[in-house]
Structure formats: structure tokens, C-alpha cells
A and B are shown apart, each in its own frame.
Chain A
């Protein structure tokens, strides 16, 4: 058996990553960052949907996991310094 390094992610793994990213996006207290994280996740997963080459898939998945780690840390940091007053977009249901 050739040890070929990282293998392509399974469908379950990708869905799990997608749901984790959306969950962490909801935890941002800053309106703009929250919306951006949600939107970027959806667009990135959609753009990479049609990749077939396993090494490309593995690279994209690895990148996604790294971004998830960054997002988790930053959600915490942003909440530590959350301003007392929220953005106007969060207050008025527009």
C-alpha cells in the first residue's frame, strides 16, 4: 500500500467542517465579521464543490480546518473586547 500522505476528505467530514464554520460565525459579536464569515464559508464551500482531484480536495479541506481554528480563536478575542453598544444593524430589525 503506498503511503500517499493526506487523503481526500469524505462528504461527512466536509459537512462537519461547514457546520462548524457556520456555528463559529454565529458566535462573533461584531455584525460585519459575523455576516462575512457566514457568507465567505458558504461561497468557499460552494466554489470547491466541483473539485475532483484528491490532492486539491485535501488542500482545500486542510485550509478550511486552519481557517476554522483562526475563527474560533478570534471569536473569543472579539467577545472579550465587545463594545457595550451593538451595531445599529443588530438593534433595529431592518
Chain B
């Protein structure tokens, strides 16, 4: 068949080791210098194959159906959607408007309320800084939580430097905020309440309906970062009474580099734009709308609407399998965050008497993360776990397992096997664990200082 022949021709390995006799140019290194047929070597670690992926909160693979919808816009339909004079522009614009309607349908909004941005970080920036800058005469106070995403916390810090006041609500040990505390903190000059729907590190779902009711009562705009919630739990802007919502493309099996911002029209919320320019996207976000990415996000949203029930049922079963599988073999496993109000695809576990870095070093065949991808560069334990009141040593050994649409039972079983093996190996070597097994309470020990 033609396609077989095409595939064979194109996948022949490139002759990158040909010696060019009369050229003084340096030999070109093969683009994937770390991949050999026998395995992968990177950063001093050698594994026999690509790791199994259990980090869905960091990003998700692009669904083939989404890729299929995006490719024509890279190949032949490459027009700028803002070109009004020719077919390329018209077809691009139609595609963008279709995608807008698909995103709006998933959250229960009207297409006119959706603005496409470069991601949830940009949408969060527009929401927090844009709203406060617009209403800066009358409103000087922002309420948010201690477990928000770094971009919201950083925007709030920026506002603090400009002279606004920010209240960071504490969370309980289950990760949920106290609604009475929220009610008390709202002041007449509160301009925004920003609380994320599903936390990316611990997977806890906040009581958004109740928060929306409180905000409506006091007539305060409510912004929620729904990047992890979109397509996973039922999102309804009317029921939650949100004025602003940040959405991300690459968390719902869509492409990276695209996101959206929902802005309510009744009652209208106004923002000061962060990107100035030609007035695209109703002046909120100037710049050419990236048609292929936006089409991909729209297709991903439509897919999520169809597949949400099927995926949720499946992922719930996989989460139980993972948790029970680990708990059967080892003890001292703590789930961080509430078990009832949680998104099923996120499991954040702490293993007692085990050091986190060494646990991750041994789990190289499983792609998991500790803390969140944004903060994994720094050495300090995750601020989210600290806000939950988790002890330092437990916070250091936390691992976040992310289960998604494409995860299989075999992958879960293998992850359980590898984790249990590594934890047991580390505990065997640990003198602290020996003491615990003998019945000594570690916290009562008076460590002799030399």
C-alpha cells in the first residue's frame, strides 16, 4: 500500500555519520542525540524506553483527533483571521468563531464572552491586574487563597507593590477554604475574589457554588482559575456565578500556547488590557489570533464535552486501583488534601520515612512530579503543602500522580510496583524507619548535638 511505502521511506534512519571529505564544516549532530535504539540516556540516567506518563497536571498529550483538526491550518488554510479581503482570512475567521462557540458550549457561556489568550497564565494576569487597574479609584482590596497558582500569587504581589491590599485566605488541612472567613474578609472596597477551581498540586475542588453565592451577595467580581477543572468536572458559569474564568488548552489534550478568558457580559466586567495593539479580541487582547492553536483548543473542548462522563468513570477506577495497590503493600502513606472533594485524576501522596529526591531518582521509569512543575526548580517544599499544614519531612516526600484519558490499567500496575519497590528499598536503608519499627517515637528524640 502507498501509505506503507511512504512510512518506510520516511522512517529510514538519516545517514548522519557520513564523512564529508571536502568540507570544513563541523559534523552535524543528530537532532535526537540522546535516543539510541537501546535506550535513552539523559542527565546521567539510562532507561530502556520512554517512561510511562503519569504527570497529567503538568501537561497532557495532544489527542490525535485534536491534531487532525489543527493540521489543515498549518498546511493549506494558513490565513490570518483578521484579513478581511480574501478567502484565506475568511476561512480562518470562520474556524476561530467555530472554536469560540465550542469553548463557550463547554462552560455554559455565550461565544461573545470568550477571549483567546496565550494560556491560563496570561488570562490570570489579565483578570487580576486588569480588573484591579480598571477599578483602581474605588477598589483597593483583593482576596485570594494561599494555594493559588504561582501566576495569581505573583500578580497579587505585583499589585501589593503598587499599593493595593491583598488578603491570602488560609486553607484547612483538607485544602478547602473556610467560607465564613471569606465572608468576614470581604470589605466595601474589595475589587476581586480569586479562587481556583481545582488545585493543580493536590487536586482539591473548592466549593465554588457557595463562594459564588457569597460574592453575588456582596456584589464582588469572582474570578476562578479553571485550567485544571475544564473538561474534567462540570463547569457552569451561571451556577458558579463567576465573572472571570481562566482556561488552558494544554490541560485538556489540546495544544500548548493557547488559552481563553471568559468575561461575563451581564453584569459586564471591565478590564484594562495587558496587551495593547490593533484591538483584536474586542480590545482585551491584541495580537493575531493563532488559528491552528485556537482550532485545536475548540476541538479539545468539544471532545471533552462528549467524553467527560466516560473518562471520569474510568479515571476514578484507576485512581482507586493506584491508591489501593500502594496501600496494600506499604503503610505510612498519606493522601494530601481532602479525599471527597477532589478531582479523581490527581493523587498527591506522601510516604513517611522516605526522602523525596531519592524516591524520585529511583522512579525514572515513571514520569511523575513532586510539587508542581512551576516550582520544581527550587529546593523548598511546595508552598501548597506548607499551606495545608503538612510537616516539612512529609512535604518533601510528596509525589503527585496524574491520571488521564490515555492511562491504562497496566501502567497503573507498573507504577504501583515501581513505587512500592523503591519505597521499600529506601525504608530498608533508613535508620529512622528502624527506630519507628522498634516503637520509638521520633518526635520525642533529643538529638545529641556534638
Interface residues of A (CB under 8 A from B): 32-33, 35-36, 39, 43, 67, 70-71, 73-74, 76-80, 82-92, 94
The size bracket of the interface on B is: 35 or more
Query: Given that A33-B406, A94-B413 are known contacts, is A88 also in contact with B48, CB under 8 Å in the complex?
Result: yes
Query: Given that A77-B67, A94-B414 are known contacts, is A84 also in contact with B36, CB under 8 Å in the complex?
Result: yes
Decide if B310 is an interface residue (CB 8 Å cutoff).
Answer: yes
* Neighbour of B48 across the interface among A32, A77, A91, CB < 8 A: A91
Whether the pair A73, B52 counts as a contact (CB closer than 8 A) is no
Decide if B389 is an interface residue (CB 8 Å cutoff).
Answer: no
Interface residues of B (CB under 8 A from A): 3, 6-7, 10-11, 13, 32, 35-37, 39-40, 47-53, 61, 64-65, 67-68, 71, 310, 365, 405-408, 410-411, 413-414
Q: Which 8 A-B pairs have the closest CB atoms?
A: A74-B64, A88-B49, A32-B406, A91-B49, A84-B35, A87-B50, A70-B68, A35-B408
Q: Is the interface of B mostly helix, strand, loop or mixed?
A: mixed
Residue in chain A with minimal CB distance to B306 = A63
Measured between C-beta atoms, what is the minimum distance from A87 to chain B in Å?
Answer: 5
Residues of B within 8 A of A71 (CB): 64
Whether the pair A88, B410 counts as a contact (CB closer than 8 A) is no
Query: Given that A35-B408, A74-B67 are known contacts, is A88 also in contact with B50, CB under 8 Å in the complex?
Result: yes
Residues of A within 8 A of B406 (CB): 32-33, 35-36
Interface-central residue, A43, A70, A74, A84, by most chain B CB under 10 Å: A84
Residues of B within 8 A of A39 (CB): 408
Distance in angstroms between the alpha carbons of A39 and B39 in the assembled complex: 28
Whether the pair B49, A86 counts as a contact (CB closer than 8 A) is yes
Residues of A within 8 A of B68 (CB): 70, 73-74
Interface-central residue, A43, A80, A89, A94, by most chain B CB under 10 Å: A89
Distance in angstroms between the alpha carbons of A88 and B418 in the assembled complex: 13
Query: Given that A73-B68, A88-B49, A94-B414 are known contacts, is A82 also in contact with B11, CB under 8 Å in the complex?
Result: yes
